[in-house]
Amino acid sequence: MNFNKIYFLIFCFLFLFLGQNKSIAYTTDEDGRPITTTIDVDEDGNQIPPGYPKVFDGIGYIDRISKKEIIINDQLYKLSHDVTFNIPNKLNVDYEIFQPGAYVGFLKNPNGKIDSIWLKK
């Protein structure tokens, strides 16, 4: 037996028994075809929670917050009278959950006031 055959047999053994990633799992339909799922991610590669916007009018860190206005990255914004505050696992939470230093995204209404604030981190 020459060395080429030995190398080939070693390669086949390694490929068959060691080269298969057994940790990969996927779901199939009733016909055995793989089912693919699309997951939305943000600019940092983090999964976007269900119901969260994919694009914001602005993002940044909260400097100060009150019931009528918010300062994000040293910029003052007025809040609409029906502004909503949202976290990944719950929509429309109390504004007091949002503290200075929180990383948020926000959406503005046509009048330029913030309509909704979304906790990002």
pLDDT, one tens digit per residue, over 5-43 is 776 777 666 555 554 444 445 577 788 777 766 666 666
Closest Cα to residue 44, out of 91, 99, 95, 105? 105
What CATH number matches the domain at 58-119, 3.30.160.150, 2.40.50.320, 1.10.150.120, 3.40.50.1970? 2.40.50.320
3-class secondary structure per residue, 89-112: CEEEECHHHCCCCCEEEEEECCCC
Tell me the C-alpha distance between 11 and 6, whole Å.
9
CA 12 to chain centre: 41
Query: What's the confidence (pLDDT) of residue 23?
Result: 42
Its pTM stands at: 0.64
